[in-house]
Structure 1
């Protein structure tokens, strides 16, 4: 059952709502002042400039945000000036669409921040392309527009100076909220009769969300000087909270088990249901931590976790003492290991709560002992060579730029056919820019959501304006719609478009009362035209299908999983293990897995004839997910100083790595060497079987000791778990090799092509 109070708090304390309120106030306050003096119609370009610049503000470090906003203002003013000067010369308008369309789409090669500036620059071009907003006095109009742009930059500088840690705190809080949702999904594996296929899909989808958020947060936190370089309590605590969220994520991944076998083994007991309920309690605590970080307050536990966990542990020990036999010993060992992991997650959550209560005097001792520069996300250098390298049809960015430019030209040409009765040319062009994305699947999805959102919003706005004539109430609805639009723009596109349509209708009504019928017709008609143009262009003009990127992403995932496993196993081999190297390899493996999964999800939305080798790719994604999760399970032993000589780790290492190297060789179209084949057939000389047999004999002789220390686990249980995890990693690697062989066979025995 959903906790609606927590869901509401998560939403209203998020960075999206905070940002939306700032944008709305920055846009609306000047409107109120101008309306008071009867100047709103004349100075309407002021709030418009404010809104455009505000929408380019992407989360990230202060300096990058400030520079991007300044660059956006320069671009907007330059575009507005050129568009206003050439608007009556059709050949020059076509030329500016081609030049600006290509350039401002291509600057996306430098990252999401400049991609946002580029998209909004094209929206500014659409607004000024026919001069309907500038009037006769172009210079005055441009000065008003430029002032509105500069106004948001001023607001940004003031707010970030007053609250330098706010964005970082909210983003770190959101990381914890996503982890709580991830844990809730994992908890459902322990409920009665779970839908395993559905849950696996949900886990993979959530992993993609977590990876994207972690990348954004990593850039914001690790490139914000006040956090990395300062020795203040707040900066150090935020850094620790972020790094702890990474460790917590790994601990949550380690709960991967053979759930079907677990359900069969304990179907007559309520132990799994109790685990399910307790994991949901833990998820509530993690949610509470996330909300507290977003608000900026100290979190206090909601539940007595020690008591709740003690109840689950006591139930397990009672069940074990009553039902354990030589036949089910190994099932109980698996369950004991799961409970141990839950104990560790609980300890992690309690430790995070302790960070909130750190004494200010202790802040300087909270060192991470890591070279944080190594964890920063990679990005393209800001040089001309990067742009030049993308001036090719092999570049995805270039192909997207061509599609955008052609779609804008078609949209503009449509507006010249006056018999069509198009009243707002810019709506077609703006909608094209908003819908047309580099990936066909996203364009298709946005097309439908834009159409549904526009029609729904237009109908609601029409009803509001038909029945409500009190300006103060209409203005309140406008404010509310703006805040919701900007809040939902990233995650809930349909709702964002719906509320956007409402506030646009209400804005036009304030500027020009009585034209609601015309606006209603034009808005829906223009959206349909733009949708048809965007869909047709994305399908026919230099389309980029996801299957063309599969192979590269599969190679990267296989390579990252191999390096992650090598880093973890090096601890068991005493082969130069370092915690920093391990965390970097862990980060790379999770990112590679999420990118591959994201690619597969987008592929599902493409035309059937472009879903090439879909089943094989799905099997590869599933095995990659398991391999990363099982390696994460093995990694839980790297932080302990205990040795496990009973496990033949050297043979296991050779055996598993040989299988993984074979996967990479097959993906690269290389021959698999005989050495690799031999190594993968090694039989590790473990002592586990004898120890298990000895323990089973003890149970047979009724030697079941009632040990109830939840923080301790028998050495034999640890050995069993390490052995099982190594076996699972090998089995999954072997399965993945079969998947790749099938992939090769489907390419008619020729070297793999992307």
Structure 2
């Protein structure tokens, strides 16, 4: 369950704060306008505020201002254009289709442009019913712009006042998702769960976790100017270091289950992971409440049980029984878990201390860690080609809206055809998977919203009660739009239907008409989701190549760090972040593909394994870092670096072969079946860490070889 759906955290989440800010702004702008003008004027001003409010998301202040200003300018221009064209029906139809196409082309700018696209199409549909003179059109647009600018000023003021609070909330969300990730990891120790299914579940969640961590980076690392900001920066850094340690806990779970099947230590390991997740959640809870966090969970009983099991295994080894492998694996897990517990302690400490400065990168360029905001016309122009998925999506929406308008013109209540168009706009998304999910949520949400509205009008038809439900639904709409869209669809249906009831209380067919319009719009959107569709498998070769390309750079940075070539791990962190982003993009594509028709799915198992193997490389690097840190005092630098250099060369050759198999002499299959080169033993230099390092290097080399098999199979299956 999403953390924001838990009542314990709901009222402290940035989603609820957004809902309150959204509702207070809209209601406030409307009430102020009503003091000076009539209801019609107030509604126009309110819609202007609403379009700007759709862009009100957690963002750095400068980015927020740019995004909301773009909404004000673009939506005002669309309002004026559609209002001027409305009296000429054929011209209006042309403009509706053209604006729909251009609005959808804005998706080239990424996820943050989606609300702007929606705002543009929303005001287009709301303006198409107006039949005004040129003078009235300019006045109407002026009122719309007034509302938009008023909400912009209001939102920027509130966001500036709450700028640190929003950082805390976004950081807390990332911590909650990290805790959920560890919960999934905990189930690897539970023999009731299938390992393959758990791996798949873990990979899916890593995509979500990467998205939340990026949102945290964008807000926290972009500006950190005082001691309060330094606290969230330090907590954020600890969270990322903790995440890497969690990655390093990966082991051969099948072997672990086999060796320890009759031992209660598996449950102990599960309980330790579960406690760690709750401990991280406690930090997140305290961050949302603006409190310093202090550890309240004790791991001693579980750690003592593990030590007892290790002692028992050691006795079996001493007696000559075959328990060496189980002893080594459990001891390694014990060491990693202790490191994680220590890092969770540092996470608590990071929330307690007011730092004078931020970490070592205080003067570093943070650009590579942050999402870039670039709105250049050439990006749209570069996608004006038929093989561009965004161009095809834009054509699809334009055609669907054309059909929706044609169908609406045959209805006896064609004056409300905008609801059909609005339904098409909301449901039809760039990918088939998103369209499918949005269609289901929209239909179910509208039905429930209509039923609730009908009950309110029939049994609670009092102005004060209706106003109360109207405000409540206004708060709920933005609160749930990014958490559970179905809930948002219920709320927005109630909000709009109650507004219509207040404006035209005599329309008894209002709810039935809205239901019919929703079903028509959903049917049109569903039909056009297959028109000029871009299926996910078509993007797989590009995504696979991006992962391999980034992984090469990540491995270079990793081995440079392991060999102590840099003064810090800044470059390593950049490449790790890029690799996680590329893997998250591939994971998201896989999830979307699984929602597509079966005949459009390709190489599902190979993609799964490819993603898992790449994550395992990250886990092996993290484990090597942990091993070298643990043995730093007795580390024989030269022999270890020689071993790392040799391993580095082999892994780089392997990944390069996977990236460009035709360029190399050997075939992918030949390389993949070749045994991993055994690392040197350190030329006789005594060191207790040799077995651990050698084992990790063997695993690293073996998993790199497996990547070739799966990447080649994916490309072959989607060709």
Same fold (TM over 0.5): yes
What is residue 68 of structure 1 aligned with on the other side?
67
Q: Which moved more, 1:146-155 or 1:364-373?
A: 364-373
Question: Within the alignment, does 1:549 sit opposite 2:555 as a pair?
Answer: no
What is residue 437 of structure 1 aligned with on the other side?
429
- The counterpart of 1:627, out of the listed 609, 613, 617, is 617
What is residue 705 of structure 2 aligned with on the other side?
734
Q: What does the per-residue CA deviation read over 1:615-652, in whole Å, with 9 as the maximum and x for residues that have no partner? A: 33333233333333333333334556353647943433
Distance 2:297 2:34 in 1: 52
- The counterpart of 1:658, out of the listed 653, 659, 664, is 653
Q: Which moved more, 1:375-384 or 1:557-566?
A: 375-384
Corresponding residue SS for 2:57: coil
Cα displacement (A) at 1:135 = 13
Q: Which moved more, 1:213-222 or 1:377-386?
A: 377-386
Contact 2:420–2:521 (Cα < 8 Å) also in 1: yes
Corresponding residue SS for 1:257: coil
Question: Within the alignment, does 1:721 sit opposite 2:713 as a pair?
Answer: no
The count of corresponding residues between Structure 1 and Structure 2 is: 711
Distance 1:323 1:494 in 2: 57
Question: Within the alignment, does 1:288 sit opposite 2:282 as a pair?
Answer: yes
Distance 1:349 1:6 in 2: 25
Q: Pick closer, same or farther for the CA change 1:402–1:348 going to 2, 3 Å.
A: same
Q: What does the per-residue CA deviation read over 1:323-376, in whole Å, with 9 as the maximum and x for residues that have no partner? A: 445521221121111121111111111112112221x4x513754457242433
Question: Within the alignment, does 1:530 sit opposite 2:518 as a pair?
Answer: no
Structure 2 unmatched ranges of 5 or more: none
Question: Within the alignment, does 1:579 sit opposite 2:578 as a pair?
Answer: no
What is residue 386 of structure 2 aligned with on the other side?
393
Q: Pick closer, same or farther for the CA change 1:509–1:721 going to 2, 3 Å.
A: farther
- The counterpart of 1:519, out of the listed 502, 510, 533, is 510
What is residue 402 of structure 1 aligned with on the other side?
395
Contact 2:44–2:144 (Cα < 8 Å) also in 1: yes
Q: Which moved more, 1:189-198 or 1:31-40?
A: 31-40
Question: Within the alignment, does 1:276 sit opposite 2:267 as a pair?
Answer: no
Q: What does the per-residue CA deviation read over 1:526-560, in whole Å, with 9 as the maximum and x for residues that have no partner? A: 111111222222211x2111111101111111222
Q: Pick closer, same or farther for the CA change 1:156–1:312 going to 2, 3 Å.
A: farther
Contact 1:404–1:433 (Cα < 8 Å) also in 2: yes
Cα displacement (A) at 1:379 = 3.7
Contact 1:659–1:680 (Cα < 8 Å) also in 2: no
Q: Pick closer, same or farther for the CA change 1:304–1:81 going to 2, 3 Å.
A: same
Contact 1:380–1:386 (Cα < 8 Å) also in 2: no
Q: Which moved more, 1:393-402 or 1:562-571?
A: 562-571
What is residue 663 of structure 2 aligned with on the other side?
670
Contact 1:53–1:152 (Cα < 8 Å) also in 2: yes
Q: Pick closer, same or farther for the CA change 1:534–1:382 going to 2, 3 Å.
A: same
Q: Pick closer, same or farther for the CA change 1:509–1:731 going to 2, 3 Å.
A: same
Cα displacement (A) at 1:679 = 13
Q: 1:142-541, aligned counterparts within 5 Å?
A: 142-224=141-223, 227=224, 230=225, 232-305=226-299, 307=300, 310-325=303-318, 326=320, 327-358=322-353, 360=354, 362-364=355-357, 366-368=359-361, 371-377=364-370, 379=372, 381-419=374-412, 421-515=413-507, 517-540=508-531
Distance 1:485 1:610 in 2: 34
Q: What does the per-residue CA deviation read over 1:134-153, in whole Å, with 9 as the maximum and x for residues that have no partner? A: 99954544333222212211
Distance 2:516 2:17 in 1: 34
Distance 1:503 1:585 in 2: 46
Q: Pick closer, same or farther for the CA change 1:424–1:134 going to 2, 3 Å.
A: farther
What is residue 102 of structure 2 aligned with on the other side?
103
Q: Pick closer, same or farther for the CA change 1:351–1:133 going to 2, 3 Å.
A: farther
- The counterpart of 1:617, out of the listed 607, 610, 613, is 607
Contact 1:432–1:534 (Cα < 8 Å) also in 2: yes
Contact 1:422–1:526 (Cα < 8 Å) also in 2: no
Contact 1:106–1:397 (Cα < 8 Å) also in 2: yes
Cα displacement (A) at 1:744 = 5.5
Q: What does the per-residue CA deviation read over 1:30-74, in whole Å, with 9 as the maximum and x for residues that have no partner? A: 445667899435522222222221112232210111122122112
Distance 1:481 1:300 in 2: 38
Q: Which moved more, 1:202-211 or 1:505-514?
A: 505-514
Question: Within the alignment, does 1:560 sit opposite 2:560 as a pair?
Answer: no
Corresponding residue SS for 2:660: helix
Cα displacement (A) at 1:3 = 12
Q: Which moved more, 1:456-465 or 1:336-345?
A: 456-465
Q: What does the per-residue CA deviation read over 1:7-52, in whole Å, with 9 as the maximum and x for residues that have no partner? A: 3233221111111110011112344566789943552222222222
Question: Within the alignment, does 1:589 sit opposite 2:579 as a pair?
Answer: yes
Distance 1:247 1:572 in 2: 16
Contact 2:443–2:518 (Cα < 8 Å) also in 1: yes
Q: Which moved more, 1:381-390 or 1:490-499?
A: 381-390
Distance 2:111 2:709 in 1: 37
Distance 1:746 1:138 in 2: 56
Cα displacement (A) at 1:587 = 0.9
Distance 1:32 1:682 in 2: 72
Cα displacement (A) at 1:392 = 1.6
Cα displacement (A) at 1:169 = 1.8
Q: What does the per-residue CA deviation read over 1:644-700, in whole Å, with 9 as the maximum and x for residues that have no partner? A: 64794343333333322221122xx43435999699667435449999xxxxxxxxx
Corresponding residue SS for 1:364: coil
Contact 2:235–2:351 (Cα < 8 Å) also in 1: no
Distance 2:343 2:185 in 1: 17
Distance 1:594 1:480 in 2: 36
Contact 1:135–1:141 (Cα < 8 Å) also in 2: no
Structure 1 unmatched ranges of 5 or more: 692-713, 748-752
Distance 2:667 2:481 in 1: 54
Cα displacement (A) at 1:108 = 2.6
Q: TM-score, length-normalised on structure 2? A: 0.91
Q: Pick closer, same or farther for the CA change 1:615–1:48 going to 2, 3 Å.
A: same
